[in-house]
Structure 1
Amino acid sequence: MKIAIITLPLHTNYGGILQAYALQTVLQRMGHDVQHLQPKVEFHPLHPAWKMPFVWSNRLLRKYFGGEWRLPIFEHPHRWIRRYSDVFIYKHIEMRPLLDEEWNTSLAKDYDVFMVGSDQVWRPCYALPLERYFLSFLNDTCSNPRIAYAASFGTKNCEFSSNQILSCRKLLQKFSFISVREQSGVEICNQLFGVNASHVLDPTLLLSKDDYLKLIQNQTPGKGNLMVYILDETPDTRLFISQVAASEKLTPFNTNYSLGNRLGIPQLPVENWLRGFVDAKLIITDSFHACVFAIIFNKPFICIGNNERGMTRFHSLLDLFGLQHCLFIEKQLFEIPKINWEKVNLKLKQLRIGSLLSLEQSLNTLMITIPV
């Protein structure tokens, strides 16, 4: 079948990029043709045209006299920031960019199935416009099957408005198969939307460590053995990292470059980020997907709770593998988590088989009903 996947925009979020790559890879191995439908990126000027000569002159001076050698002079800073992640996206992910007006029912003739997922595609602050991620662009006459794989609300309590609940409930009830990434999502689907949902693994966990090693086989080892990937850095987290490094005699290396604070430095390539898990003896992170890849690569990790980005995701993931002791809460006594990787890997294998079977069965059922 030809499957259209609707996920959050792919740009500099490593987890978002790799979950899209993983779901696509799994579906292709099942024999399907896959495309990700994505909003077309338009880099609007940050300044009015009359001001640009002054901006370029300022950048030139900063570049040659301020030592900011990576600062782009003429290129849009956001395009510059994502230059390496875009290379990975265009090389490994099948995409179809769409303008706003192109998100309509005419897409139905190009695909057999529409699939939503994964990541926080059902969290209003990230999914804009929200109804698009419930396939609102397909009208009532469209008979194409609709599926959700490992969709996430992000938080334990649904953040939808009452109007959004009403509109999305009608849309969700048109889905043939619904699966969510967190156990709390199963309850939200049942209680607020009146539909049944299965609890499955994030797509990144459907691929093996060897699958990811193939992506980084040409990457050279980095410098350092304490991988730090902090999305929301604070003075407390910086102090904690330095204390861990000193206590364990480890050399930290940072794999996150903030888009907002360092517009002159491009985001590290996806391959470099993955390579960090190979090089690390320990990982400190407040990222859901960094925890996922620490599990895949069997690396001890400390997960710093991040309430703003959704704690439910962390609890759900760590509960699955008996790793709640890897969650660090401020002011608690520090200790490197001891992990029984044999037990974790056995659990991962079982959950992976179950999630793949669930996805494959849902698609096989549709193949019987879709005319060739």
Structure 2
Amino acid sequence: MKIKTITCHEVYNHGASLQEYALLTHLNSVGHDAETIHYKPFFLSNHFKFWSVANPKYDKLFLKQLYLLLKFPGRLLDLRRKKNFDLFSKKHIATGKTLYKNNDELKKNLPIADAYICGSDQIWNSFFLNGKDPAFYLDFVPIDKLKISYAASFATDAIDNNLKPFVKEKISRINAISVRETSGVKILNELGINNVLQVLDPVFLLSKEYWRDTFIKDIGSNYIFVYDSDNNQQLKKIAQKIAKQENYKIYTVDKHIKYADKNFYFEAPDCFLSLILHSKLVLTNSFHALSFSLIFNKKFLVFNRLEKINTRMRDLMILTKTDYLLISEENNIEINLDQIVVDYNVVNNIIENKVNESKLFLEKAL
């Protein structure tokens, strides 16, 4: 079967790239011909733009010129990250040649397929423009074509009342509906959409051995891996404390983390996987850093995000019975490495059963 998927594409994020790759790889491994639609709406196309001005107060001729002059060296350096991610995508992610920028363009020049899948990632997160874009609900696909959502994420516990009619209308057109979080099931049930299954993110569809044998490279050992989107001070404190106690280095992929001994910000997603696999401990507020920590059976702690998108991590941790490793301001406690214990016999059994259920959903839907 020829399948087209639509997701957050080429957004230069490790998790987004890997989940996109994983879904295509699984679909192709079971005999389908799958590729991603080359969909780049304006709100997901602002990466590595040399002449953009983020703050309106600098958008005046002299101030703008000074702003861009000061930003230029760093932006030029950032092209290394873009180049490495683009090479990863070119090698590993099959993508249609036609570039689409909005839902109307997709309708007028429909990518030809037997089935269309939206997901995974935060495509329905209305906290961002993703969740307000009809294209991510397969609105461009004719009513007589097979439409499936796989592990689509709202990323929040609720959506605004004014968006509920839009969401209900668009999702009601989808033939087989699955979401990534149990909170997503609840959101849709409250809208009167009941034929919904909670499934795992696509990265779980590929085995630990597959990820290891395909992408992992030697990156050293005796380090803590930090993936922190908020520059969380509690995370920093725990990382520095454990690193000092155990004589570990601190590695990261976050541009803004200045306390790390080594920063892999410019490297492609395969490096991200290697950093998690070889680490002694993962400290993160990233959903996919958590996911691969579970896949690779690592020690980890998860910290709440400042943005209201903690549902993603919380639901996965509840599912795998690891929510006691979620650190918040309410349980700001002193932690030592030997206190971080995960029973992976239990976790792996839960994940295996859920992976089988997730694969069965796709098989039946297709």
Fold match, TM over 0.5?
yes
Could you tell me which residue of structure 2 aligns to residue 111 of structure 1? 113
Could you tell me which residue of structure 1 aligns to residue 335 of structure 2? 334
Q: What does 1:90-239 align with in structure 2 at a 5 Å threshold?
A: 90-96=90-96, 97-100=98-101, 103-108=105-110, 110-128=112-130, 129-138=132-141, 142-158=143-159, 160-162=160-162, 164-217=163-216, 219-222=217-220, 224-239=222-237
TM-score normalized by structure 1?
0.82
Could you tell me which residue of structure 2 aligns to residue 46 of structure 1? 51
Deviations along 1:267-300, one digit per CA (max 9) or x if unpaired, are 3221111111222111111111101100111111
Q: Separation in 2 of the partners of 1:124 and 1:190?
A: 17
Give 3-state SS (helix, strand or coil) of 2:229's partner.
Answer: coil
Deviation at 1:248, TM superposition (A): 3.4
Deviation at 1:55, TM superposition (A): 9.1
Deviations along 1:17-64, one digit per CA (max 9) or x if unpaired, are 11111111111112111121133458755069x99999998789x7xx
> Contact 2:22–2:205 (CA<8 Å) still a contact in 1?
yes
> Contact 2:221–2:280 (CA<8 Å) still a contact in 1?
no
Could you tell me which residue of structure 1 aligns to residue 301 of structure 2? 302
> Contact 1:28–1:34 (CA<8 Å) still a contact in 2?
yes
CA 1:171 to 1:246, structure 2 compared with 1: closer, same or farther past 3 Å? same
Deviations along 1:97-148, one digit per CA (max 9) or x if unpaired, are 523266332444611111110011101233435222112223xx54111110
Q: Does 1:350 align with 2:348?
A: no
Corresponding letter in the other structure for 1:298: N
Q: Separation in 1 of the partners of 2:358 and 2:243?
A: 37
Structure 2: runs of 5 or more not aligned = 54-60, 258-263
> Contact 2:110–2:140 (CA<8 Å) still a contact in 1?
no
Give 3-state SS (helix, strand or coil) of 1:344's partner.
Answer: helix
Corresponding letter in the other structure for 2:166: S
> Contact 2:252–2:265 (CA<8 Å) still a contact in 1?
no
Could you tell me which residue of structure 2 aligns to residue 292 of structure 1? 291
Q: Which runs of 4+ in 1 moved over 6 A?
A: 50-60
Could you tell me which residue of structure 1 aligns to residue 269 of structure 2? 270
Deviation at 1:215, TM superposition (A): 2.8
CA 1:243 to 1:142, structure 2 compared with 1: closer, same or farther past 3 Å? same
Q: Separation in 1 of the partners of 2:111 and 2:243?
A: 56
Could you tell me which residue of structure 2 aligns to residue 368 of structure 1? none
Deviations along 1:304-326, one digit per CA (max 9) or x if unpaired, are 12241512112210111110121
Q: Separation in 2 of the partners of 1:107 and 1:144?
A: 15
Q: Separation in 1 of the partners of 2:317 and 2:69?
A: 50
Identify which range, 147-156 or 126-135, moves more after superposition: 126-135
Deviation at 1:177, TM superposition (A): 0.3
> Contact 2:178–2:198 (CA<8 Å) still a contact in 1?
yes
Q: Separation in 2 of the partners of 1:350 and 1:154?
A: 23
Deviations along 1:53-91, one digit per CA (max 9) or x if unpaired, are 99998789x7xxxxxxxx57xx5x664432211211111
> Contact 2:224–2:239 (CA<8 Å) still a contact in 1?
no
Deviation at 1:11, TM superposition (A): 2.5
Could you tell me which residue of structure 2 aligns to residue 369 of structure 1? none
> Contact 1:84–1:266 (CA<8 Å) still a contact in 2?
no
Corresponding letter in the other structure for 1:154: A
Q: What does 1:252-263 align with in structure 2 at a 5 Å threshold?
A: 252-258=250-256
Q: Separation in 2 of the partners of 1:223 and 1:343?
A: 26
Corresponding letter in the other structure for 1:105: K
> Contact 2:253–2:265 (CA<8 Å) still a contact in 1?
no
CA 1:55 to 1:308, structure 2 compared with 1: closer, same or farther past 3 Å? closer
Corresponding letter in the other structure for 2:340: P
CA 1:194 to 1:55, structure 2 compared with 1: closer, same or farther past 3 Å? closer
Q: Separation in 2 of the partners of 1:256 and 1:57?
A: 24
Deviation at 1:354, TM superposition (A): 1.1
Q: Separation in 1 of the partners of 2:91 and 2:172?
A: 36
Give 3-state SS (helix, strand or coil) of 2:28's partner.
Answer: helix
Deviation at 1:208, TM superposition (A): 0.8
CA-based RMSD of the aligned residues comes to 2.8
Q: Highest Rg: 1 or 2?
A: 1
Identical aligned residues as a percent: 28
Q: Separation in 2 of the partners of 1:109 and 1:215?
A: 30
Q: Does 1:359 align with 2:362?
A: yes
Deviation at 1:168, TM superposition (A): 2.5
Could you tell me which residue of structure 2 aligns to residue 241 of structure 1? 239
CA 1:254 to 1:29, structure 2 compared with 1: closer, same or farther past 3 Å? same
Corresponding letter in the other structure for 1:131: P
Q: Separation in 2 of the partners of 1:360 and 1:221?
A: 37
